[in-house]
Each structure stands twice: as structure tokens, then as C-alpha cells.
Amino acid sequence: MDLDKFTHCYDALPAGYSEGHFRGRRYSVRKQISGDGKRGNLVANELGSNDYISLNFYRLKGGKTSLKPCEMPEEKVIEFVIEFAPEI
């Protein structure tokens, strides 16, 4: 999977609460970033159903990053973040 593209798309998502679409379904998303910008988490829930996305994202020394999905495949969270289209 493309972690560089994931990072770009993750950074582009608005912090706080938003709603949007992923693969034709509507989701609520809550993205939180630590004060120093080194840690973040994202939780998404499909509205009207039970699909759920949850991840923690860390910025490490030397420009490296670490993605930690919460009890789901890494591919699922990467695909969600890359394809999610927030409403403007």
C-alpha cells in the first residue's frame, strides 16, 4: 500500500468532526491531532450502518511515520483515508 499517499490524504482531512463519502456510503469522521502534531487518531462510523474505521498515526524522528490500525487490517484504513471525500 502507498503510505506516502496515505500520509498526504490524512494530512488533508480536516481536524475535528466532518462527514463525507467512501465508496458511495456516508460516514462521520472525527480526527484529533496532539498539540505537538506528532500523534493523531481518526475514528469513522458509517451512518445508518455498523462499518467502523479506527487508527492511530505517529510522526517519528527522521521524518518517518507509523500507522497503527485498531483491530482491523492496515489496508482497510489506508483505503478509507485515501478514498474518503469530506463534504465541504
State pTM to two decimals.
Answer: 0.93
Q: Distances from the Cα of 43 to the Cαs of 8, 19, 31, 64, 72, in angstroms?
A: 18, 12, 7, 22, 12
pLDDT, position 26? 98
pLDDT, position 63? 87
Helical residues (DSSP H) of 1-88, grouped into ranges: 3-12, 74-83
Return per-residue pLDDT of the chain as tens, 88 residues.
Answer: 568 899 999 999 999 999 999 999 999 999 999 999 999 999 999 999 999 999 999 999 998 999 999 999 999 999 999 999 999 7
Contact yes or no for 20/87 (Cβ under 8 A): yes
Which residue type occupies 44? A
Q: Distances from the Cα of 10 to the Cαs of 22, 48, 49, 50, in angstroms?
A: 14, 24, 23, 22
pLDDT, position 13? 96
